[in-house]
Amino acid sequence: MIKVYKSFVKVYKRMNQIISIMEDYETMLKKVQEELPEITHGNSRFTIENVKGHLEGNKTVIINLRQIAKDLDRDPEHLLKYLLHELATPGKFVRDRAIFGTKVSATKINKKIAKYASEFVFCSECSKPETKIEEGKAGVMYLKCQACGSRKPVKIVR
């Protein structure tokens, strides 16, 4: 009878230890979940709006480039510099419109914006758009993912 009682006490103590460990685990799990960054785009599919614009003589006018940059969560000037470099054309923002110095098709601009998004927006590890561009040591720019935490260097757009 004493052996059964001692065995019962050992099992009871062990169960209390396991319960304590599980409570600690659940506390840590809740803490980690609270510290995770918020998902800004939810489970919906991320889409990039097509450019809207028209031709004025030999110039191309885009009226929604600032909105596209806002949707990508990037600086409109950074996006414009990238497009000007890739399309090899002069251009600038005049109020809310982006004006390119040559005739450029909307299809070509949309392809360059998709290329910009793959280089400067989407994470190369998890493919999510929740990223930020940060400056590191020696002027190197990094794409830091808010979802998975990875960092990769990106080229500087001048």
CA 106, CA 111: separation in Å to the nearest integer?
9
Neighbours of 14 (CB within 10 A): 10
Domains and CATH numbers, the chain: 49-121 (3.30.70.3150), 125-158 (no CATH)
The answer to whether 64 touches 49, Cβ cutoff 8 Å, is: yes
- For residue 102, the Cα-to-chain-centroid distance in whole angstroms is 31
Bridge partners of residue 152, in order along the sequence: 143
Give the confidence band of 86 by pLDDT, cuts at 50, 70, 90. very high
Local structure of 58: helix, strand or coil = coil
Residues 6 or more apart whose CB falls under 8 angstroms from that of 42 comprise: none
The pTM of this model reads 0.69
- Phi then psi for residue 98, to 5 deg, are -100, 130
Give the confidence band of 26 by pLDDT, cuts at 50, 70, 90. confident
- Phi then psi for residue 127, to 5 deg, are 65, 20
pLDDT in tens, 93-143: 998 999 999 999 999 999 999 999 999 999 888 888 889 998 888 888 899
